[in-house]
Amino acid sequence: MLSVIPHPIQGLMLMSLAGGIYVLTFRLNELFDSWALFGQGISLIFLPAGIKHLAILLTGKWGALGCLLATYILASEFWANQSTAIIALYALISTASTWAAIVLSLRGLGISTDLKNLKFMHLPLIDLITTAAHGFTTNTYFILAGMKSENFLSNALAMMFGDFVGSFVLLTLLWLGLSIWRRPWKKPYRKEATKH
């Protein structure tokens, strides 16, 4: 069915889907703020990080673009006092660091782009590489842009932890889904009736 839809339209659909799910997951994640919020823009469980990882893993540039736009929209809310340029650059750095880390981790682990040889043991490694790159890169940007001025290491580690937990939950669900999808469908075993 998708083959009849032109590729640019498919891409826009994927971008919209990724961005929409990212925003919805962010709203869901806000329910955890009373006990999981570490600081502005940092949650100790951050499910949208997993959505961003999945969107990039499954749809590449279109998923990244959807998450970038969603990040920009949401960051404009919680950093309303910052300029448009600072928020746009934050969204770009956040998305680009995640994308670059995913690409590098897949190559480093020898995982094909179709994810056919993805194993469960790869998930924590991909997650660790990606969340470390994202946590340290974005917190470096926060300091350089004057959005935060102290506690670089604790903020970076807290962001990394929250992204790791949120991503691992959703990447585990991806792996389970792929495992079910790859499993050959077997007809249920039916015992033949014997004649006496």
| Residue 171 lies inside a defined structural domain of this protein | yes
* Per-residue pLDDT at 42 exceeds 90: no
Q: Does residue 187 sit in helix, strand or coil?
A: coil
Instruction: Please report, for the domain that includes residue 103, its CATH number.
Output: 1.10.1760
Within the chain, residue ranges assigned H as helices are 7-29, 33-36, 47-59, 61-78, 84-109, 122-144, 152-182
Q: Has residue 147 been placed in a domain?
A: yes
Residue 62 confidence (pLDDT): 95
Contacts for 184 with CB less than 8 Å, ≥ 6 apart: none
Length reported for the chain: 196
Would you say residue 18 lies in a domain? yes
- The pTM (predicted TM-score) of the whole model is 0.82
The number of distinct structural domains making up the chain is 1
Q: CA dist 174 to 17, 55, 109, 115, 128, Å?
A: 16, 11, 18, 10, 16
**Using CA of residue 119, residue 124, residue 128, residue 130, what is the dihedral sign?**
positive
Residue 196 lies in a domain: no
- Domain assignment of residue 193, yes or no: no
pLDDT above 70 for 185: no
Mean pLDDT of 181-193: 57
pLDDT of residue 34: 82
Q: For 95-131, write each residue's pLDDT tens digit.
A: 999 999 999 999 999 998 888 888 878 888 988 999 9
* Domain membership flag for residue 82: yes
Q: How many CB atoms lie within 10 A of CB 7?
A: 10
Query: By residue range, what is the domain housing residue 121?
Result: 2-182
The rounded distance, in Å, linking the Cα atoms of 87 and 72 is 6
Q: Is residue 195 part of a domain?
A: no
> Where does the pLDDT of residue 3 fall: very low under 50, low under 70, confident under 90, or very high at 90 and above?
low
Q: Report the chain's mean pLDDT, rounded to a whole number.
A: 86
Q: Is residue 52 part of a domain?
A: yes
